[in-house]
Structure 1
Amino acid sequence: MTRRVLVTAGASGVGHAMAAAFDAAGYDVWVTDIDQSALDILPDHWVAHRADVTNEADMSAVFQAVGAAGGLDVLCANAGVAGPTNAIEDIDLDAWRACVAVNLDGAFLAAKHAAPMMKSARAGSIILTSSTAGQYGYPFRAPYASAKWAVIGLMKTLAMELGPMGIRANAICPGAVEGPRMEGVLAREAAAKGMTRDEVYQGYASGTSMGRFVEAQDIANMAVFLASDAARLVSGQVIAVDGHTVNPDPKL
């Protein structure tokens, strides 16, 4: 029987790579995103919904549709935003709340609405996208790091709460991922620190033992593994896909 996966923020970046990897693995793919133009160019056989992960009405409607289609085997709660890059005293409260809302509330709402279907089936895999910022902290990115730490706490709780019903929960912690989103981070950090983009890039890369950024496909491969029967007893785990961070705050 074909399995079904839902990927939030699945129309671009890491989410799109996840959706494509699950498609290649034979899953029925559903995605949500707020970018309608990106949703419009997804493969025709993917089921796409425009939804704001911080809006419970939007998320409820998506999961009702998934339930009507036969239920959900895998949830990839992947939606996230970088948030502001500023010293703590310069971070606006509204900017803090907006960052936490997408990164944490979005994961909570997705898990909240996936859980009843998975409980009914007494099976399922919930994969939350955290970050190495959720393991080590992240100077000048307090809202993002705080939310990603909280995502790990949510995952650990889900694993304990839902495990007796055959539902697994894990968190993937990407390091610096090549792509447009990270380019924006590099530009903002360079401006905040009076450095060039390349200097900041090399600082990130040198903070890993493998000396490089990761690709979206690396994250997607881990998600497919965690959803698979090969990982049937892997739950409650924080798994970094980051080239092995050895210095989360290299001196630049």
Structure 2
Amino acid sequence: MTTQRVLITAGASGIGLGLARRFAERGDRVAICDADGDAVARVQSEHPEFIARQADVTNEAQMAAFFDRVETEWGGVDVVCANAGTGGPAGRIEDLEYDAWAACINVNLNGTFLTCRRAARMMRRQGSGLILLTTSTAGLFGYPLRSPYAAAKWGLVGLTKTLAMELGPVGVRVNAIAPGAVEGDRMERVLANESAASGRPVEDLRQQYVKGVSLRTWVNTDDLADMALFLSSSAASKISGQILAVDGHTETLVP
């Protein structure tokens, strides 16, 4: 398979770092950005072959500088993983602060807009490429106590479908991966926030997530990377505009 040029946002930890490592193992060139400067430095130390830059996806100037560097060094990009996101606040909508709502929407939706806008410009000129968004099963179901997160992730579903229509005629594919509950620190923070908002013990919530999935299991970053690598391969050349859940089949997110 031809070596690909892969750009990943929020690529210094969690799902993004898992994607970066798997693309690199396949032999691809990898560029990552992340708002966490310390995490970026660690990744650069472990993977000096990566392009690694501190950049907040909601900062237009920082994202422009990151894409400029990638375009200057590589001349283009083949895969852009718009992966950055945040869990946002937990609570009934009447109890949420506007600033917390807006911050969640800003990272999950507006940050993805900035990433996809620049990716679309580059790929339209090339006449090829894959934009891969990270949405969530929260973008497929109602999600009590997590309205800003659900609203943002549903927005990404609409963005995926629309960009696939806009860019398909020039040979660019756009898809989204919808993870379920992913093992790791981020999900532990989500459980803690939901526990504080609902008054239910963390372990009860953990079991509720498991019971709401047909396979009765969470997923891990390798499960998501397997899907990303498939979608970026020639075997997926006719797959576009799709929301592909990697979640063990979520039946409900309602407690």
TM-score (norm 2): 0.96
The yes-or-no answer on 1:177 pairing with 2:182 is yes
| Corresponding residue of 1:167 | 172
Q: Decide which of 124, 132, 135 is 2:129's aligned counterpart.
A: 124
- Counterpart-to-counterpart distance in 2, 1:143 and 1:193: 16
The yes-or-no answer on 1:240 pairing with 2:241 is no
| Corresponding residue of 2:83 | 78
Q: Unmatched 5+ residue regions in structure 2?
A: none
SS in 1 for 2:219: coil
How big is the shift at 1:141? 0.5
| Corresponding residue of 1:50 | 54
- Counterpart-to-counterpart distance in 1, 2:3 and 2:218: 34
| Corresponding residue of 2:217 | 212
TM-superposition CA deviations, 1:110-156 (whole Å, max 9, x none): 01011121111100000000000000021101110000000110111
- Counterpart-to-counterpart distance in 1, 2:195 and 2:25: 38
SS in 2 for 1:84: coil
Q: Decide which of 230, 233, 236 is 1:231's aligned counterpart.
A: 236
Using the TM superposition, name which of 77-86 and 222-231 deviates more: 222-231
- Counterpart-to-counterpart distance in 1, 2:71 and 2:34: 19
Task: Tell me, yes or no, if the aligned pair for 2:182 and 2:221 is still in contact at 8 Å.
Answer: yes
SS in 1 for 2:56: coil
For the aligned residue pairs, the C-alpha RMSD in angstroms reads: 0.9
- Counterpart-to-counterpart distance in 2, 1:244 and 1:2: 32
- Counterpart-to-counterpart distance in 2, 1:180 and 1:2: 32
Letter in 2 for 1:88: I
| Corresponding residue of 2:26 | 25
- Counterpart-to-counterpart distance in 2, 1:119 and 1:217: 30
Q: Decide which of 66, 74, 93 is 1:62's aligned counterpart.
A: 66
- Counterpart-to-counterpart distance in 2, 1:173 and 1:154: 14
| Corresponding residue of 2:120 | 115
SS in 1 for 2:140: helix
Q: Unmatched 5+ residue regions in structure 1?
A: none
How big is the shift at 1:248? 2.3
Alignment size in residue pairs: 250
Q: Decide which of 151, 154, 161 is 1:156's aligned counterpart.
A: 161
How big is the shift at 1:2? 2.7
How big is the shift at 1:44? 1.1
Letter in 2 for 1:212: T
Q: Runs ≥4 in structure 1, deviation > 3 angstroms?
A: none
SS in 1 for 2:131: strand
- Counterpart-to-counterpart distance in 2, 1:140 and 1:80: 18
| Corresponding residue of 1:93 | 98
- Counterpart-to-counterpart distance in 1, 2:78 and 2:113: 17
SS in 2 for 1:136: coil
How big is the shift at 1:247? 2.1
| Corresponding residue of 1:141 | 146
The yes-or-no answer on 1:202 pairing with 2:207 is yes
Letter in 1 for 2:18: A
TM-superposition CA deviations, 1:173-199 (whole Å, max 9, x none): 000001000001111112222221111
- Counterpart-to-counterpart distance in 1, 2:68 and 2:195: 44
TM-score (norm 1): 0.97
- Counterpart-to-counterpart distance in 2, 1:30 and 1:192: 37
Using the TM superposition, name which of 6-15 and 187-196 deviates more: 187-196
- Counterpart-to-counterpart distance in 1, 2:220 and 2:202: 19
Identity %: 53
How big is the shift at 1:41? 1.3
